[in-house]
A and B are shown apart, each in its own frame.
Chain A
């Protein structure tokens, strides 16, 4: 069912990870992704994997949930793997016509696969353990220093909040429209590509109309409550760093140090 897509979803919880300052989680996620590309040896991936495992266990997010987030991108991963296996030149292990598999190709593909899986799980953990509001507050706080050079930090964060907020609403709407057209005998599963593309029209037109209607209503409701973007706003819950955040930062620094060390030493 379309509503069960977990991409960008929040998994409610009360763990240590959930309670961390969103700014730290955002920076740590970005650095984790960078670290994955710094790593060049399997030992490095083991370190990255263990760190990720620890975070998953502490966060209490069920593994089933995490796997579900991986499902939509499996095709992309498979595609990357195949491209890498066949495209990279080197010591040939197996050959059939113009297709050849090389030792280097296998190695790169394996690295790429591990990297992508860790990357996706790592970044989905950020959204799984952070409320959308926390996420956008964090982004706004991180972007606000750039306001001096004209970056509209608040507006960007507001746009993100709204987009995140309306993903489930639009999915729900899509689900409803698909069912309504199916009830009128629409068939989205058979036929060639052109037929299938045409079959999308009865879904997309009502969906766009709904989206515009929702946007209009929201704009009206915001204006009715005197929303003005760029004025100085205060918030109900200020984000504050605590000792927990300090400890997490230290642990994460230790992780980064290990990654850099193994890159330098091995």
Chain B
């Protein structure tokens, strides 16, 4: 369980360009939940994530993960990194080793695992991201395509086998096919069980169809928390924050405004299609 209490972070405090990036945020996330975080650009999502594995220290407030107070300066950071895996925005820019296998092994090596265990984890995590281990292990990561690099970078974090997997816009800048692949891969890892997943995305369709609950950030504050249905039923407020609705929700709410009998909030295209079909049946 992740408990965040009254978290505040200020960048460049005391300098003329100081910036309150996160302000007075409190929430809890249960073990095994799939949580989405949405918010306009600059709303503090990445800043919040970097607190969750101790990369940033808050100005005030606390974060307790499964009883481990990670904001306490006495907590060993390696324990936090073992527990919480964070995949950065554009993670392919962190690749540095000569071969894919060596790069993926970097994390497990830092955890001080025995060599056989490292090899095993490298193999299984490269396969978990849908790449062929034997054909790719000795290739330089810089020779891969953008989507493949992204997968290798994600494998590098999965290989550390964290209980909590955090991904900051893992599909940004990918083509539709690669986007869908990465998303399916994340769902696959989650479905295997045991992991809490936190996903930041600007794609409302993705958030609506795969998350158990959604956090909405607005100008450094937590504006809403709830199930996708609860959050996306507040379309007007979301639009005021510069956020869009999932396409299915948007279409059905416009049809409702135009007089069609659709009473529930639809999150996916399938739900919307069923609701529209039903409404048409009722009128004829």
Contacts and interface: CB of A to CB of B under 8 A. Distances in A.
Interface in A178-205: 179-187, 201-202, 205
A48 to B, nearest CB: 28
A181 B53 CA distance: 12
Interface string B69-96: 0000000011001100110100101111
B93 A184 contact: no
B39 interface: no
A187 B110 contact: yes
Nearest to B91: A180
B16 A12 contact: yes
A185 B16 contact: no
Contact of A184 (B15, B16, B110): B110
A27 B33 CA distance: 64
Interface in B187-206: none
A146 interface: no
Contact of B78 (A4, A181, A187, A206): A187
A209 interface: yes
Nearest to B111: A185
B55 A206 contact: no
Given A4-B12, A177-B94, A206-B94, A184 B55 contact: no
Interface string B90-116: 010111100000000011001100000
Contacts of A209: 93, 142
Contacts of B246: none
B78 A1 contact: no
Contact of B15 (A65, A179, A205): A65
Given A4-B12, A182-B55, A186-B106, A210 B88 contact: no
B153 to A, nearest CB: 9
A185 B86 CA distance: 11
Contacts of A180: 88, 91, 93-94
The range of chain B's interface size is 20 to 34
Interface in A1-55: 1, 3-4, 11-12
A31 B15 CA distance: 30
A176 interface: yes
Given A12-B16, A179-B50, A206-B93, A185 B107 contact: yes
Contacts, number: 65
Given A205-B96, A209-B142, A185 B82 contact: yes
A202 B98 CA distance: 11
A63 interface: no
A235 interface: no
A148 interface: no
Contact of B55 (A12, A183, A210): A183
A11 B96 CA distance: 36
A225 interface: no
A184 B157 contact: yes
Given A4-B15, A184-B106, A184-B160, 19 more contacts: A1-B11, A179-B88, A180-B88, A180-B93, A180-B94, A181-B106, A183-B55, A183-B81, A184-B107, A185-B82, A185-B110, A185-B111, A185-B160, A186-B110, A202-B96, A206-B94, A206-B96, A209-B93, A209-B142
Closest 10 CB pairs of A and B: A185-B110, A205-B96, A180-B94, A184-B107, A183-B86, A185-B81, A180-B88, A202-B96, A179-B55, A206-B96
Interface of B: 11-12, 14-16, 50, 53, 55, 77-78, 81-82, 85-86, 88, 91, 93-96, 106-107, 110-111, 142, 156-157, 160
Interface of A: 1, 3-4, 11-12, 64-65, 176-177, 179-187, 201-202, 205-206, 209-210
